Amino acid sequence: MEMKMARRALMLSMVILAGLVSLIAGNISGHNSSPADWLSRGHYRDHIRKMQSFKASFLRRDSVSQPLTSVSPSSAPSPLSFAPSPSVTPSPRVYHVTSYGADPTGNTDSTAALLEAISDAFNQSSGDGFLMEGIVNLGGAEINLEGGTYSISRPLTFPTAGRGNFRIQGGTLKASDNFPATGYLIDMSAPPANGADYNFEYVTLRDLMLDANYIGGGIQVINSLRTSIDNCYIAHFNTNGILVQGGHETYIRNSFLGQHITAGGDPDERNFSGTGINLMGNDNAITDVVIFSAAIGIIVSGQANIITGVHCYNKATGFGGTGIYIQLPGNTQTRIVNSYMDYTGIVAEDPVQLHISSTFFLGDAYILLKSIKGVVSGVTIVDNIFTGSGNGIEIVQLDQSNGPFGEVNQVFVDRNTVDGMNVKSTVARALVQGNGSSWTANFNPTLLFPNLINNVQYSLSTPGSLFPNYALRSTSNNTVVIESDVAISANLLIVVDQGVSN
């Protein structure tokens, strides 16, 4: 192999030398100038750069060239000996997978070739030091799929942990029929190395189509830091389209996920299974993502995550589907904003610090607060739009099958616009008119929690000259009773609030 490389280098050097002499002679004669004039105009350096590019074009395999050998001034004619040797920059570290024997047609298995390319990228360092302690900087090394479709029979598991600044992009991966049922097409699950707190840092997966062939999942990210999944189309998963476990700051953007290829109204929608995105870590973001088929669109069981610009029409609530499931009882810390819940809703277990706003709920989609230990605190559901079919579906509902919500504090549900559904709120208002000494207002149709009024404000106005004494007598069963000491004709304005704890 060494002799072969030496011969190749010798041949390239001869080609470059001959081309250089030809270029110099042509330019000197063509411009009718002396060599000194030709050098003074900077033509020498221009042609040196061209010849270096010419040489680099011969170097193939993974497009990672060794530093180019500069042309020695002593090898050129004597008039050139005064020119300084030009600086040479190595080629970018882009690994073209077809150079490793990967089949871009998808007709044969490409697993070994793809894993070899990844291994080569991981075994070389850019020399730029570390990212987080224990994470080797790979200098932006790229696995380029060259727009091909590649069949793989086992996961593309990163060979070792402790690596960062790396990307895979630009093609399609498809699971073969013998792909393992518990595997993921791209698997970032190697255990930590070099004493690092995280497996990987700053890994980018971009412009990919992943077809799990109804076997296993799409992408698995375990205990990694600052991972980007951008512009990906993940389909035919049987478990999770994307699983994020541990670590933090995984950003999923501008992507499409669906178990089945559909655009809604699928006759097999009742049988959709799997989960689009499963977030089991903290400080992650899902932005501008569409989940068009799965039993559950997004499961969140980590803290401090944000979901924005998401469109879920994965499986209708009426068929047993859930758009977003918040599954971290007592410590939610999740924000859902500017999203679109299309015939599928949101479920939150014992929500604590949950914010939902500026989201559109279509087709009787609603929000369900589910009691696990009876705690709901710091919940804000405001400024959303709900549109239904006029069947009396409430926009926010309670599941107290495991026991009632006994601890309700700082819960604010209000300012939502509703059409064809029933309003539910923690704040309600009523104007009661009458002639007598007792006024009653029933807030059960509007208030979210049963038999809970923490605060009442009321004012009485009468057209006469009397100044009666009046007082609050009862708030039992969400029904407010106000009584006066004399019978009068009056209007009574009452405002009640469930969200402020005593």
Q: What is the DSSP string of 260-273?
A: S--SS--TTGGG--
Q: If we measure between CA atoms, which residue out of 454, 441, 424 comes closest to residue 493?
A: 441
Backbone φ/ψ region at 3: left (φ over 0), alpha (ψ -120 to 50), beta: alpha
Q: Is 425 exposed, middle or buried (0-12, 13-18, 19+ CB in 10 A)?
A: buried
- Between 435 and 335, where is the model more confident? 335
- Same-domain pairing of 264 and 373: yes
Q: Give domain status of residue 438, yes or no.
A: yes
Q: What is the total count of domains within the chain?
A: 2
Q: How confident is the model at residue 194 (pLDDT cuts 50, 70, 90)?
A: low
CB 343 within 8 A of CB 312: no
Q: Give domain status of residue 48, yes or no.
A: no
pLDDT in tens, 390-399: 999 999 999 9
Last residue of a domain, one of 398, 420, 442: 420
| Residues 262, 268, 270: CA angle, nearest 5 degrees | 115
Q: Give domain status of residue 361, yes or no.
A: yes
Q: Phi, psi at residue 362, to the nearest 5°?
A: -115, 150
Tell me the percentage of the chain whose pLDDT exceeds 90.
Answer: 70
Q: If we measure between CA atoms, which residue out of 196, 188, 191 comes closest to residue 166?
A: 188
Structural domain containing residue 439: 427-497
pTM of the model: 0.81
Q: Give domain status of residue 26, yes or no.
A: no
Q: Give domain status of residue 407, yes or no.
A: yes
pLDDT at 408 over 50: yes
Mean pLDDT along residues 348-373 = 97
- Same-domain pairing of 402 and 450: no
Distance, CA of 183 to CA of 244 (rounded, Å): 14
Place of tokens 């200098």: 139
